[in-house]
Amino acid sequence: MQNLLNRFLDYVRFDTRPDESNQESPSSINQMLFAERLADELEMTGLAAVTLDGNGYVMATLPATTADERPVVGFIAHIDTSPEAPSKNVSPVVHTDYDGGDILINAMQKIILSPDDFPELSKYKGQTIITTDGMTLLGADDKAGIAEIITACEYLIANPHLEHGTVRIAFTPDEEIGRGADNFDVKSFGVDYAYTLDGGGIGELEYENFNAAAATVTIRGRSVHPGTAKDTMINSIMVGQELDSLLPHHERPEYTSGYEGFFHLYDIKGSVEETVMKYIIRDHDPVRFSDRKKILSDAAMQIRTKYKGAEVDVSLRDQYFNMKEIIEANYYIIEEAMKAYRKAGIEPVIKPVRGGTDGARLSFMGLPCPNLFTGGHNYHGRFEYVPLQSMEKAVEVIINLCLSEKKTPK
Ligand SMILES: [Zn+2]
């Protein structure tokens, strides 16, 4: 328990923010420094075949302790943290024996983490809660995952009488900017299946995610002096606005939940001459997903017809797909996880991810890979926190999965 906490507190102090503007892998040097540090620690912990490749991917092996035929199971976490919140000088605060009320996370700035704002906090009464000081994110996403995987390996190494098959672990860069699977060497990882440790609160188990596409809409208008603009000016900003108004108004992130998909206009830059609008399109259902892409293309067509003098260009790019079909064809991976949760006294809560995971992309690269909880909450922000007891349960789940006596499925 102490090792787990110390590890986590140590890891979050590394600023591992990715840099989307850098096309290299990893996208930031700090990620490489942390990867080097993790590779050293894995060696010291007694793992075998520790590798760190030039792209910042760390891999290692926990050798089998039985000659029985068992599947090779992998565990994966990511080393970067979200670029959406400050991540420099993370200064974690450990609150023991949480009383169930408001937590003052920064006395100077009077910043409070309150169950009034985040009701699930009250579930953790009596536990040890690790928070930020309200100035940065915490980085439990995904350093909790890394700490949990290494702590589970450490336990199994210290208890060699416990019989398990070969276990492989991997830490990947740039998950938060959607590139975590880009340079993942599935072949050299060499597992039958794997789990990402990248979920939220205790009990979460995820194997459905969005189908995802990105769209850039570029509108070229016609700029003329406003004084003589009558019947000649085409203001691309207004045309863009009109195009956006043709999309279903209530299918936006702020109005949707569960299995409801959306269009999300997240960036717009415009002048009379040219307006560029960036969207992401999301839907769990593959049919509704293609319908959505068509709705956007149709809207552009309608605008082109109306404004003959304007140019309307839509460039659509698929980003990732729902791993559900892959996982359902290998459903024993979920059954194994549910068994491991229940053995740890946790009732699995299966819910669709409203986003994507590295596991989704890895699943389509031939490595089925659902997502397990790490225990954290309020990811990507200053109110991120993680109960230590949830992290311990994640360690227990990993150990249970390693010790499963399941034979390699044929
Ligand atoms: Zn994550």
pLDDT tier, 409 (very low <50, low <70, confident <90, very high otherwise): low
Q: Hunting for tokens 């892998």 — which residue is that?
A: 25
Q: What is the reported pTM?
A: 0.88
CA 137 to ligand 1 center in whole angstroms: 12
- Which of the following is catalytic: 41, 80, 133, 251? 80
Give the DSSP letter of residue 120. G
The answer for residues whose C-beta is within 8 angstroms of residue 379's C-beta and 6 or more apart is: 82, 137, 140, 141, 200
Task: List pLDDT tens digits, range 17-61.
Answer: 999 999 999 999 999 999 999 999 999 999 999 999 999 999 999
- Which of the following is catalytic: 41, 175, 204, 336? 175
Amino acid identity of residue 336, one-letter, is E
CA 198 to ligand 1 center in whole angstroms: 5
pLDDT, mean over the chain: 96
CA 142 to ligand 1 center in whole angstroms: 5
- For the residues 275-284, what does the mean pLDDT come to? 97
- pLDDT for 410: 52
- pLDDT for 2: 87
CA angle 176, 244, 319 (to 5 degrees): 30
Amino acid identity of residue 175, one-letter, is E
**Structure tokens that stand for 366 in this block:** 């031939």
Cis ω for the linkage preceding 92 (within 30 of 0): no
CA 335 to ligand 1 center in whole angstroms: 23
Q: Which residues of 319-336 are buried (b: 16+ CB within 10 A; e: fewer)?
A: bbbbbbebbeebeebbeb
The answer to whether 175 is a known catalytic residue is yes
pLDDT tier, 405 (very low <50, low <70, confident <90, very high otherwise): confident
Residue (of 391, 336, 281, 258) closest to 73 by Cα position: 336
CA 254 to ligand 1 center in whole angstroms: 21
CA 247 to ligand 1 center in whole angstroms: 30
